[in-house]
């Protein structure tokens, strides 16, 4: 059975898990290794570890923090931030990641996706896309940690990422991020309709219903959640039990 995954996100800055609104006003949430262990024990299907300052600071992923976090992880771990080459990806995978997520570097040099897929396999390559609403209803790709909008269409770029070899899409709405006002359903649907690979919706989860909407009306296969989990408003189990009650296939085996 194909399950919808519930994926806590660890946004990392200065070695700590943080969470803000629209990528700014960051608040300290917890230690990443502690968070990883807790979420794995709580039934998370995967974890995402994003070194959100790596690109802006023009450096690679904080491998020491990643190693310490990965040591507590018992589920697949996707890692992004500062991955600009196959060498960077190899270092991240060697430090405990299951797959790598690329964003700005891939927008600047799309061949990076093909290189990573060729060396490590599509199943280990995630195309992370930060999208925002532009003029005339277009959904534009953002780079540099959401700080710079491009003229690239998010759905078209997602399709190109798939063609180049990405195995999945992690789509974050810049406009909705941290607002708890709900995922950008229209943008999520546009991207999901443009590709055949799984899409994980990210940015804006504020209620159980929001997560359900992302997986139904939004067409996403999986849902990424941050604030609701970090600040103990909901647990992974509560989310899964709700989704199951609404007819969504989720993996409940860890609760038996």
What are the residue numbers of the active site?
Answer: 11, 130
Cα 248–Cα 127–Cα 220 angle in degrees, nearest 5: 20
Q: How many CB atoms lie within 10 A of CB 121?
A: 12
Question: What 3 state SS string does the chain have?
Answer: CCCCCEEEEEEEECCEEEEEECCEEEEEEECHHHHHHHHHHHCCCCEEEEECCCCCCCCCCCHHHHHHHHCCCCCCEEEECCCCCHHHHHHHHHCCCCEEEECHHHHHCCHHHHHHHHHHCHHHEEEEEEEEECHHHCEEEEECCCCEEEEEEHHHHHHHHHHHCCCEEEEEECCCCCCCCCCCHHHHHHHHHHCCCCEEEECCCCCHHHHHHHHCCCCCCEEEECHHHHCCCCCHHHHHHHHHHCCCCCCCHHHC
Report the greatest alpha carbon distance in the chain.
50
What sign for the dihedral angle of Cα 174, 123, 191, 227? negative
């Amino acid at each position: 059975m194909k399950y919808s995954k519930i994926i806590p996100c660890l946004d990392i800055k200065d070695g700590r898990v943080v969470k803000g609104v629209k990528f700014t006003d960051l608040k300290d949430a917890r230690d990443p290794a502690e968070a990883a262990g807790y979420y794995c024990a709580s039934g998370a299907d995967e974890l995402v570890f994003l070194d959100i300052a790596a690109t802006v600071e023009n450096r690679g992923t904080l491998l020491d923090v990643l190693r310490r976090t990965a040591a507590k992880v018992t589920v697949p771990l996707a890692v992004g931030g500062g991955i600009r080459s196959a060498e960077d990806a190899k270092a991240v995978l060697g430090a405990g990641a299951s797959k790598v997520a690329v964003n700005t570097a891939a927008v600047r040099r799309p061949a990076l996706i093909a290189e990573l897929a060729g060396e490590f396999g599509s199943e280990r390559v995630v195309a992370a896309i930060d999208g925002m609403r532009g003029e005339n209803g277009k959904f534009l790709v953002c780079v540099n940690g959401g700080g710079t909008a491009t003229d690239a269409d998010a759905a078209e770029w997602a399709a190109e990422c798939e063609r180049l070899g990405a195995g999945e899409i992690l789509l974050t709405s810049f406009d909705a991020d941290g607002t708890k006002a709900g995922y950008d359903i229209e943008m999520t649907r546009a991207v999901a309709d443009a590709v055949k690979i799984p899409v994980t919706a990210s940015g804006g989860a504020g209620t159980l219903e929001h997560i359900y909407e992302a997986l139904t009306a939004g067409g996403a296969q999986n849902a990424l959640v941050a604030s609701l989990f970090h600040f103990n408003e909901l647990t992974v189990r509560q989310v899964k039990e709700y989704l199951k009650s609404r007819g969504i296939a989720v993996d409940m085996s860890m609760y038996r």
